[in-house]
Amino acid sequence: QKEVEQDPGPLSVPEGAIVSLNCTYSNSAFQYFMWYRQYSRKGPELLMYTYSSGNKEDGRFTAQVDKSSKYISLFIRDSQPSDSATYLCAMSDYGQNFVFGPGTRLSVLP
Amino acid sequence: NAGVTQTPKFQVLKTGQSMTLQCAQDMNHNSMYWYRQDPGMGLRLIYYSASEGTTDKGEVPNGYNVSRLNKREFSLRLESAAPSQTSVYFCASSENGEAIMDYGYTFGSGTRLTVV
C-alpha cells in the first residue's frame, strides 16, 4: 500500500461545477498537509496548506482534513478551464520532507 | 524573480553515460531537494539538503549522487545512467521550520531525461 493515494483521474467536469479532489493516507503521524497544482510541463506550485484537522478556505478553494479517517479533500467552486491541471496532495509528520500523492488530473470543459 | 532554475530542460543519454543536473535558487532558502516524477508514482524524493554542507538520502537514492555546492546550488549526478532513470527530475527549495507552511516548496520547471 502506498503511503499517500489519489485517484489518478482524469476527472472531467463542465465549467462552473464544484470539484472534489481527495487523498487518503496511511501514516497517522501526518499533521501538515499541502495541495499543489501542476500545469502540463511545469513544476508544481503551492495552492493551499493546512495544519492538523479542520477546514481552510481561500477564494474558490477549500481544503479539508479529517485525521480520524486519514482523508483530505480539496474543493474547487465555480471551476474554470484555467483550473485544468494535475492536483497533488503532500503531507508530512514534522513539517519537512513532504510525501506526495501521485496526483489527480482535472479537465474543466468550457 | 527567477526562483528555482534547472538546467538542462531536456537530455537524452545512452545507457552507461554520466551527467549532472544543475539547480540554483535565489530565495536564500536553506533546504533544497531533488525529486523524480514518473506516471502513476507521483513525486519521489531522491536526496535532500537541509542546509549548506549537509545532504541526506530520500526514498529512491540508488544510482544518484548529490552535491550542495553552496547555499544557492544543489546538483544531482547520474554516474552510469540506466533506462530505469528515464523520468522528469524536479529540483525544489524551501524555508525550514514553520515558515515552510507559508510558502511550501518552490519547484523548478523540470529536466526531462531519457536514457536509451
Query: Is the CA virtual torsion A93, A96, A101, A106 positive or negative?
Result: positive
Contacts of B39 (CB under 8 A, 6+ apart): none
Q: Which of B42, B100, B109 sits opposite A95 (nearest CB)?
A: B100
* pLDDT reported for residue B103: 76
* pLDDT reported for residue A1: 64
CA A106-A84-A82 angle, to 5 degrees, is: 155
Subunit contact B45:A97, Cβ cutoff 8 A: yes
Cβ-based contacts of B97 with chain A (< 8 Å): 95
Residue B39: band (very low, low, confident or very high) from pLDDT cuts 50, 70, 90: confident
* pLDDT reported for residue A7: 86
d(CA B24, CA B54): 16
| Chain B contacts to A (CB-CB under 8 A) | 4, 31, 35, 40-45, 48, 50, 58, 90, 92, 96-98, 100-101, 103-105, 107-110
Counting every residue written for chain B, the total comes to: 116
Nearest C-alpha in B relative to A86:
B42
Each residue of B41-88: pLDDT tens digit? 889 999 999 998 899 999 999 999 999 989 999 999 999 999 999 999
Question: Distances in Å between the alpha carbon of A68 and those of A24, A62, A96, B61, B73?
Answer: 11, 19, 22, 33, 40
Residue A36: band (very low, low, confident or very high) from pLDDT cuts 50, 70, 90: very high
* pLDDT reported for residue A21: 97
pLDDT at B102 over 80: no
d(CA A17, CA A108): 8
Each residue of B5-18: pLDDT tens digit? 999 999 999 999 99
Find the mean pLDDT for residues A70-80. 96
Q: Which of B96, B98, B110 sits opposite A43 (nearest CB)?
A: B110
C-alpha cell at B39: 506516471
Each residue of A54-67: pLDDT tens digit? 889 999 999 999 99
